[in-house]
Chain A
Amino acid sequence: MSDTALLIKNVDKFYGPIDHGVHAVRNISMDIRKGEIIALLGSSGCGKTSTLRMVAGFEAVSRGTISLKGREVHTLPPVRRNVAMAFEGYSLYPPLTVKENIAFALKSSRLSQSVVEEKVAYIARLLEIEDILHRYPSSISGGQQQRASLGRALIRDADLHLLDEPMGQLEPQLRAVLRGRIKHYIKERGLTAILVTHDQTEANALADRIAVMEGGELQQYDTPQKIKERPANLFTGTFVGEPPMNVFEAEISGDDDRMVFALNGDVRLEYRTADFQPDVRKALLQRRRVVVGIRPYSVRRVANGVPARVAVNQWLGDQTHIAADFAGGTMVLVEHDRADLALGETIGIRLDPDSLHVFDAASGAAVSHGRELA
């Protein structure tokens, strides 16, 4: 494909000897189109930074290939890859002011002094660091250093921008504002970017596609919407979404008339067999032992539902979080209005077949989402 900006193919990363060292990245493959913003989302230590650093050329690729604009680059030194990077640890040059730090990134592009000034001023306004341009890195806060470091990466005109947790140190309001501006800046210029983050709100807001990582493996690589609606496995299902998906182990049985999900033995969810398409039905019955997941905002409260005891009822100002004891675990519900429920009160719960996510109990791979096969 001609519009592929970056192609990562079967890449492994070992720190230390191959096959014996720390296996930080496991057989990752992904492609990024020109002009796309990709988020690498995952918890701390899952290999996001390692992946980014291999793309930049600071860590050797243990196995696999990386191509930029159709050119294999994984053996080239960083200079020859034409990528820009904002480092997790900022890595500003201590003897230079913030302004010089940002302008320094343009040094090799041989722009005239006035153009450089103009660009720096623009970036500084974008990131709200105009008033610290003449300060030294050691005399500004972590959040300011982080923005300076982000500015140093964004100002460059590279084939690929790698941003490693670029807003982790910022206060929420500023983060929300900058998110919008940065996205606009990147899109306006047609830049291609990989954003590393452990914040799913940030990933959802900025990225065209999200790569969910865990334990060095790529779990799912898709649009934010698909990841939410059709999580590829139990990990993605429970990792993405706030509050997290409710999950219960279940045993499935059924005949021509009814499908029964027995949750933890004591709660039985009965559905009409017709609610499931034949192929879904077949897949479910084949498995028998599964994990059933349902998003908190899809759980419905009905009079004749499965009984559950209210344990928490919290109004958060814009939504209510209810936690209820259910099937030997906890079921969390999200509602838009205040709920007039006392603790200990019994409510009826209904799980629509449309909103059930079913995962294989052994492998965690998704079996079905609602009425469709995964």
Chain B
Amino acid sequence: METTSPLERIFRFVALSLVVLFFMFPIVWIFLMSFQTNETILTIPPTIVFSPTLSNYAALITGKLTTSAGTLDIAFMRNLMNSVFLSVTSVALSLVLGVPAAYAFARHKFRGSEDIAFTLLSFRFAPPLLVLLPLTQYFQWLGLSDTYVGLIWVYQLICLPLILWIVRGYFEDISADVEYAYRIAGHSWFATFRKIALPLAGPGIAAAGLLAFIFAWNNFVFALVLASADKQPVTVGALAFVTSSGIQYGQIAAAIVLSVTPTLALALYAQRYLVEGLSLGAVKG
């Protein structure tokens, strides 16, 4: 055991607390804000003593936003569902396409395979706004603008390269001989992929999927341009809180809390796999 002096321990505690405070403060503040009315939020000086209200959440869930200028309809719940639907299907599609592709890139070096893999990655270099204009044109011709299919397609630009490159690394880390050992015992190529490669890369695939999900969930600009109100995710829907009669801070805070919850829950759930994924080193032959 390492022996640490009490002073050192205290110092370490203070330092860690400061770091945690620094990163957690905005989140805690938003969490508190979501239980306050706009008036309490805007009091100067700000106070942490207030009587909590659920009105913000109620407004979001019922879809009726009451402002000083009257009642507004907002589609927050619908946006939330859109976010869930778009992110889940995009990631699922990316996994279906990307994992076998990653395996192919990891295991079969063919002429130009590096170039193809890099081209796929380069989709992530282009500023989205630059791609968007031509894309909007094409989508209008194809009749894909303002459709879920079109959005999921565009989301592949975000998810597919991410999954392909992360998962490829995991496949490369698995010693090819482990697979050979299985194939030589009389199993087909596909059986080996399913029974050996996939389970061994499982944690990596989970990690890549989670990351892709977060990126998809946080996407803003694609959905802003390519989708109309009823197909927009929360990131875009949150714009509705900037009303003519002021910014609805309370509702925004509540919306943030609600929209962060799924990703947070997923991350906490997947934490186990992520840690496993990082210790995949044990697999290397």
Chain A residue nearest to B281 (CB atoms) is A138
Q: Using CB atoms, name the residue of chain A closest to B196.
A: A93
Map CB proximity to A onto B195-234 as digits: 1 under 8 Å, 0 otherwise.
Answer: 0100110000000000000000000000000000000000
Does B178 have its Cβ within 8 Å of any Cβ on chain A?
Answer: yes
In the complex where A93-B196, A95-B200 touch, is A156 in contact with B185 (Cβ < 8 A)? Answer: yes
| Closest B residue, CB atoms, query A85 | B184
Q: How far is the CA of A91 from the CA of B181 in the complex (A)?
A: 7
Nearest neighbor of B186 in chain A, beta-carbon distance: A108
Closest to B178 in A: A91
A87 B180 Cβ-Cβ under 8 A: yes
In the assembled complex, the CB of B33 is this many whole angstroms from the nearest CB of chain A, namely 46
What are the residues of chain A within 8 A of B186 when measuring CB–CB? 79, 82, 107-109
Known: A93-B196, A95-B199. A56 touches B188 (CB 8 A): no
| B124 close to chain A: CB less than 8 A | no
B187-A79 in contact (CB<8A): yes
A91–B177 touching, CB < 8 Å? yes
Contact of A92 with B178 at beta-carbon distance under 8 Å, contacts A78-B183, A78-B184, A79-B183 already known? yes
Inter-subunit contact A85/B181 (CB<8 Å): yes
Decide: A152 and B181 in contact? CB cutoff 8 A: yes
Taken together as a complex, chains A and B put the C-alpha atoms of A155 and B119 apart, in Å, by 46
CB neighbours of B177 from chain A (8 A): 58, 87, 89, 91
Contact for B282 among A84, A109, A138, A156, CB less than 8 A: A138
B180 to A91, Cβ gap below 8 A?
yes
B42 beta carbon closer than 8 Å to chain A: no
A122 at the interface (CB under 8 A from B): no
Residues from chain B with a CB closer than 8 A to the CB of A152 are 181
**What are the residues of chain A within 8 A of B122 when measuring CB–CB?**
none
Given known contacts A85-B181, A91-B178, A91-B181, A79 and B282 CB-to-CB distance under 8 angstroms: no
Does any Cβ of B come within 8 Å of A94's Cβ?
Answer: yes
Chain A residues whose C-beta falls within 8 Å of the C-beta of B200 in the assembled complex: 94-95
Question: In the bound complex, what is the Cα–Cα distance between A52 and B215 (angstroms)?
Answer: 46
Min Cβ gap B161→A in Å is 28
In the complex, chain A residues 141-169 whose Cβ is within 8 Å of any chain B Cβ? 152, 156
> Do B175 and A77 touch (CB < 8 A)?
no
CB nearest neighbor in B for A109: B186
B180 touches A78 (CB 8 A): yes
| A58, B189: Cα distance in complex, Å | 12
Determine the distance from Cα of A156 to Cα of B199 in the docked complex, in whole angstroms. 24
B205: min CB distance to chain A, Å: 15
CB pair B199–A104 under 8 Å, yes or no, is no
Contact indicator B184/A84 (Cβ below 8 Å): yes
Q: Which residues of B contact A108 (CB under 8 A)?
A: 185-187
Give the shortest distance, in Å, between B188 (CB) and chain A (any CB). Answer: 6
Taking CB as reference atom, which chain A residue is nearest B202?
Answer: A95
Q: In the complex, which residues of chain A have a beta carbon less than 8 angstroms from the beta carbon of B181?
A: 85, 87, 91-93, 152
In the complex, what distance in Å separates the CA atom of A82 from the CA atom of B185? 8
- How close is B276's CB to chain A, nearest CB, in angstroms? 11
The digit string for A16-43, where 1 denotes a CB below 8 A from any CB of B, is 0000000000000000000000000000
Does residue B26 face the partner (Cβ distance < 8 Å to A)? no
Q: Is B283 an interface residue (CB 8 A)?
A: yes
Residues of chain A contacted by B70 (CB below 8 angstroms): none
Assess whether A105 is interfacial by the CB under 8 Å rule: yes
Complex Cα distance, B285 from A27, in Å, reads 30
Complex formed: what's the CA distance from A91 to B175 in Å?
A: 7
The verdict on A365 contacting chain B, using a C-beta distance below 8 Å, is: no
- A104-B180 in contact (CB<8A): no
Query: Given A85-B181, A108-B185, A108-B187, A91 and B199 touching (CB < 8 A)?
Result: no
- B182 located at the interface, meaning its Cβ lies under 8 Å from any Cβ of chain A in the complex: yes
In the assembled complex, which residues on chain B have CB atoms less than 8 Å from the CB atom of A91?
Answer: 175, 177-178, 180-181, 285
Question: Contact: A56 with B180, CB < 8 Å?
Answer: yes
Q: A232 at the A/B interface (Cβ < 8 Å)?
A: no
State the CA gap A109–B183 with chains docked (Å).
Answer: 13
CB proximity of A120 to chain B, nearest CB, Å: 14
* Contact indicator A93/B178 (Cβ below 8 Å): yes
CB within 8 Å of A: which of B246-285?
282-283, 285
Instruction: Tell me the minimal C-beta distance from B231 to chain A in angstroms.
Output: 42
Interfacial chain B residues near A93, Cβ < 8 Å: 178, 181-182, 196
Residues of A close to B182: CB separation below 8 A? 93, 104
CB of A83 within 8 A of chain B?
yes
In the assembled complex, the Cα of A62 lies from the Cα of B200 at a distance in Å of 31
Bound CA span A11–B196, Å: 31
A90 is an interface residue with CB less than 8 A from chain B? yes
B198 to chain A, nearest CB (A): 11
Kindly state the separation between the CA atoms of A61 and B68 in the bound complex, as whole angstroms. 80
B interface footprint on A66-89 (CB within 8 Å = 1, 0 otherwise): 000000000001110111110101
Q: How far is the CB of A194 from chain B (nearest CB, A)?
A: 14
Residues of B that sit less than 8 Å from A by CB: 175-178, 180-189, 196, 199-200, 282-283, 285
Other A-B pairs, 14, CB within 8 Å; known A56-B180, A78-B184, A104-B185? A79-B183, A81-B184, A82-B186, A83-B184, A84-B184, A85-B184, A89-B285, A90-B285, A91-B285, A94-B282, A107-B186, A108-B185, A108-B186, A138-B282
Interchain residue pairs with CB less than 8 A apart (25): A56-B184, A58-B180, A81-B184, A82-B186, A84-B184, A85-B180, A85-B181, A87-B177, A87-B180, A89-B177, A91-B178, A91-B180, A91-B285, A93-B181, A93-B182, A94-B178, A94-B200, A94-B282, A94-B283, A95-B200, A104-B182, A108-B185, A108-B186, A109-B186, A156-B185
Q: Which 7 A-B pairs have the closest CB atoms?
A: A108-B186, A91-B177, A89-B285, A138-B282, A91-B178, A78-B184, A91-B181
